[in-house]
Amino acid sequence: MELFEAIRDRKSIRRFKDTPVPDHDIARMIEAGRLAPSANNVQPWSFLVVKDRTVLKQMAQAVRDMLDRMIPHAEDERHAQRLTAYKSNYYVFFENAPACIVVLMDPYGASSVRLLEKMGYSIEEMERLRPHPGLQSVSAAIQNLLLAAHALGYGACWMTGPLVAQEAFEKLLGYGKERTAVALIPVGVPAENPPSRARKSRDEIMKIVG
């Protein structure tokens, strides 16, 4: 598949067939992630592949439990309804995928951040000067992985919603507090073909300066 075609045609898939995804295909997706650029080439990523349906269901239940705790704090009735709807779709559909890749991020301690801290910059100011290089690196790996999944004929979705249950995931998957799950990526043979979502026009987002 041609690169620009893959970039154009990839879309989030949220319903999957039961067909298993062979390990060698998962490995090719993770290989694409492994080759991503990263700040100082630190490669602050690792990937857990969860295929056990019981574990996936436990993870989804942890997300529902967390949403139940959040709903009483919703801003208004509509917000509460949206959170309630997340319990049956947007945050939990990963439980029905044949495989779900949990993307973990190592702590990224850029030395320049330590210097800025010493110089008295606040966290907000430092975030403007060094905007999350670790997270940007892992995000590059995630996009590579999504494109590889698409090129191999699989559907996938980048998910951060379920991470409200991060504490429960940590215990269920045993990855320890030093690493953070930054995304779940359910993967499988698509059981839907949703329309592509609109994008802002290039004119809206591009400006030639100088």
Ligand X SMILES: Cc1cc2nc3c(=O)[nH]c(=O)nc-3n(C[C@H](O)[C@H](O)[C@H](O)COP(=O)(O)O)c2cc1C
Q: Minimum distance between the CB of residue 33 and ligand X, rounded to whole angstroms? A: 15
Q: What minimum distance in Å lies between the beta carbon of 157 and ligand X?
A: 5
Of these, 122, 136, 160, 193, which contacts ligand X (CB under 6 A)? Answer: 160
CA distances from 108 to 12, 57, 105, 163, 173 (A): 28, 31, 8, 19, 21
Q: Which is nearer to ligand X, 68 or 125 (CB)?
A: 68
What token pair was written down for 23? Answer: 């390990």
Within residues 80-109, the interface with ligand X by CB under 6 A covers 90-91
| Minimum distance, C-beta of residue 135 to ligand X, in the bound complex (Å) | 10
Closest CA to 130 of 106, 109, 103, 158: 109
- Write out the two tokens for 140: 């590059």
Rule CB under 6 A: say whether 197 interacts with ligand X. yes
Our finding on whether 161 is near ligand X (CB under 6 A) is yes
CA 139 to chain centre: 8
Distance CA 105, CA 114 (A): 19
Q: 32-71 mask for ligand X (x: CB under 6 A)?
A: ----------------------------------------
Rank residues 117 and 127 by Cβ distance to ligand X and give the closer one.
Answer: 127
Q: Which is nearer to ligand X, 21 or 159 (CB)?
A: 159
Interacting positions 10-29 with ligand X (CB under 6 A): 11-12, 14
CB neighbourhood size of 27 (10 A): 12
Q: Which residue is nearest to ligand X (CB)?
A: 161
Helix (H, G, I), strand (E, B) or coil at 125: helix
Residue 158 and residue 183: Cα distance in Å, rounded? 6
Cβ proximity to ligand X: between 121 and 158 the closer is 158
The dihedral over CA atoms of 109, 111, 117, 121, expressed in degrees to the nearest 10, equals -100
Token pair belonging to 147: 């494109």
Residue 157 within binding range of ligand X, rule CB under 6 A? yes
Binding site for ligand X (CB under 6 A): 11-12, 14, 90-91, 157-161, 197
